[in-house]
Amino acid sequence: MALILKVQLESQTYSVDLEAAYDLSIPIIFDGPQVNHFGAPQATSVPLQVGSYVGSTGTGGSCNASQITMTPHCNGTHTECAGHIINEKLSVLDVLKEELCLARLISVVAEKGAQCNDQYHPIKEADDLIISKLELENSLAAVPNTTNTVTEIAHQALIVRVLPNPKEKCSRVYTAKNPPAYFSTEAMAYLSALKLKHLLVDLPSLDRMYDSGLLSNHHQWWNIPQRQTAESISKPNAESKINRTVTELIYVDDAIDDGYYVLNLQIPAIQGDAVPSRPLLYPLKSFSAATAMKSTEIPL
């Protein structure tokens, strides 16, 4: 029997089917094509070897035991915290506390740098693909074309899907010759000012791939004073928003409508400024008497 949650959002009641989640993570296939960013080595899995023991039943081992090597920032879907850019020990485990939160999904189109009136620090090029502030404003102002009936309501997470949206994104290798889109300075300032805690994007980074090491959009998202050189130390202050996370390299299938969802952002209990993650989206539906018999109530 399906487990249905009863969710109270302001004055409205909705149901969430826990067996109807959309998985936004990109699987890491060790023996197949992998999404990759910044020229990092591919994620690998090899049998553990300790003395005469080999962790592979295929080579005579008593059991399978794999040793995995990966770079979370560059291999697959991952969630970051402000520890990514500051000279302090801060782990995603320290800041990601919610089990469930309300999220909104929007779709945007990036435009060529030559046509975009927005700027980027330190530089933008004419052929860059840029997500502008105006594009975000228009997408957030639009009425979602969705099967659920949630009206405008405060949400803690924003999920951004960039169009066009081919499934090839799940194995795309981002390089200098195949660079990803990124947010303009104005767009990121706009997002940072919203009352959000989690930002999820289908890009490998909020910033331009080659940005002189400044990571200006990351600084804006966490409201950390901008460093002037790649070697400078970034220091948060009282106004910094270090309780926020950003999740990159997700994939949102075209079958998923823009609109409101319940987000379960799953991470392993691994200390790090970035860790592999698995965002799950649950559609919200109007609560009815038919679902009341098999529901569990959880306030959000």
In order, the DSSP letters of 154-216 are --SEEEEEEES--GGGGG-EEBTTBPPPEE-HHHHHHHHHSS-SEEEESSS-SS-SSSTT--H
Half-sphere exposure of 61 (CA within 13 A, CB side): 17
Residues 183 and 93 in one domain: yes
The structure tokens listed for 146 are 């969705």
Is the residue at 285 inside a domain?
yes
Residues 49 and 131 in one domain: no
Residues 82 and 68 in one domain: no
Q: Which of residues 19, 47, 72 is at a domain's end? A: 72
Residues 8 and 95 in one domain: yes
Residues 20 and 66 in one domain: no
Residues 141 and 230 in one domain: yes
Residues 92 and 214 in one domain: yes
* CB proximity list for 158: less than 8 A, separation 6 or greater: 103, 104, 106, 191, 194, 196, 198, 199, 200
Q: Which of residues 48, 72, 96 is at a domain's end? A: 72
Q: How many Cβ atoms are within 10 Å of 151's Cβ, its own excluded?
A: 10
pLDDT, residue 146, reads 53
Is the residue at 293 inside a domain?
yes
**Is the link from the previous residue into 283 a cis peptide, with omega within 30 of 0?**
no
How many domains, the chain?
A: 2
The structure tokens listed for 81 are 């915290």
- CA dist list (Å): 270 to 87, 90, 233, 277, 299: 19, 12, 25, 11, 28
Is the residue at 57 inside a domain?
yes
Cα(first)–Cα(last) distance of the chain, in Å? 24
Residues 254 and 183 in one domain: yes
Range of the domain at 59: 39-72
Instruction: Report d(CA 279, CA 125) in Å as an integer.
Output: 32
Is the residue at 105 inside a domain?
yes
pTM for the complete prediction?
A: 0.93
Closest CA to 84 of 70, 97, 74, 99: 74
Residues 204 and 126 in one domain: yes
pLDDT, residue 290, reads 46
Instruction: Report d(CA 106, CA 236) in Å as an integer.
Output: 29
Residues 178 and 262 in one domain: yes
pLDDT, residue 120, reads 98
Residue by residue, pLDDT tens for the chain (300 residues) are 678 888 888 778 889 999 999 999 999 999 999 999 999 999 999 999 999 999 999 999 999 999 999 999 999 999 999 999 999 999 999 999 888 999 999 999 999 999 999 999 999 999 999 999 999 999 999 877 554 555 566 789 999 999 999 999 999 999 999 999 999 999 999 999 999 999 999 999 999 999 999 999 999 999 999 999 999 999 999 999 999 999 999 999 999 999 999 999 999 999 999 999 999 999 988 877 445 545 555 555
Residues 46 and 137 in one domain: no
Is the residue at 34 inside a domain?
no
Residues 58 and 190 in one domain: no
CATH number of residue 237's parent domain: 3.50.30.50
The DSSP 8-state label assigned to residue 57 in this structure reads G
Is the residue at 33 inside a domain?
no
Instruction: Report d(CA 197, CA 221) in Å as an integer.
Output: 10
Is the residue at 164 inside a domain?
yes
Instruction: Report d(CA 86, CA 222) in Å as an integer.
Output: 10
pLDDT, residue 145, reads 57
Is the residue at 178 inside a domain?
yes
